[in-house]
Amino acid sequence: MKIYAPAKVNLALDIVGQDERGYHLLDMIMVPISVYDELEISYSDADSILCKEMKIPEVNTMSRMVKLLKETFSIEKSFKIEVVKHIPMEAGLAGGSADAAAVMKAILEMEHISIPIERQIELAKQIGADVPFCLVNRWSRVQGIGEIIRPLDCEWKFKALLVKPAVGISTPVAFKKWHEMEPLKVNVDVVEDCILKKDPISLFQSMENTLEPVARTMEPILEEIKEMMTENGIERVLMSGSGSSMIGFSIDEDILIETKNIMEKKYPFVEIITIG
């Protein structure tokens, strides 16, 4: 069975507290993008994951999802997963989470297991905070530790420029350093309102990511990317998730193309994407 695993970006990310276990409570706007991994899942004599593009750790989000589903639903069969990776790692794009969500969807369908989306989310959050959103895979307001998802009544699509430098950002380290800095507050309500109105200019002005100032202190190259995009006419640059990917926004698609042609000479992943 072939299935696609779309990446996501954050157009707003705020940290609003911590729960009793120490997990950070978030308030975010998340949306799928046109970058995706391709997975081919088939029955096999033993569980295995194959990927030509990069070395995947033996224990990963996909293997953990397979184990969880087999234990939860008493599945005795084994699965071979072949992955073609297009989503950069350590980019704030939920590549591993997207793959885990795709594995869940595929195995449930292959095994003819029908469970409500609420039950799927309950299982998905055991693998990672972004996996529930990757199951829903549409414009959403996401809260809690990632398991409270309210889809938005929005079918908007527009282009943006995605740039990922060679360096990645460690999510745990970014959250730790966030506590050491004066936090940037984000008005997620305003961002949601701009999205529902499909108002790009107001959206570009209101988008914020509270982890971005932290990440820029960790990796100064992010500031360099932001300045380079802005100098080339990009109207707004925003980091996705905990980084290190940076998204450039402009209502002028010619500016996106011109900036891409310049940026791709210097950075390993530069792509014009569709958001939504």
- Enzyme catalytic residues: 8, 130
Amino acid at site 191: V
Give the alpha-carbon dihedral of 47, 51, 54, 57, to 10 degrees. -10
Distance CA 63, CA 47 (A): 8
Distance CA 78, CA 24 (A): 35
Inter-helix orientation angle 117-124/61-73, to 10°: 130
Quick check: helix, strand or coil at residue 249?
strand
Determine phi and psi for 141, rounding to 5 degrees.
-95, 120
Contact present, 162 and 271 (Cβ < 8 Å): yes
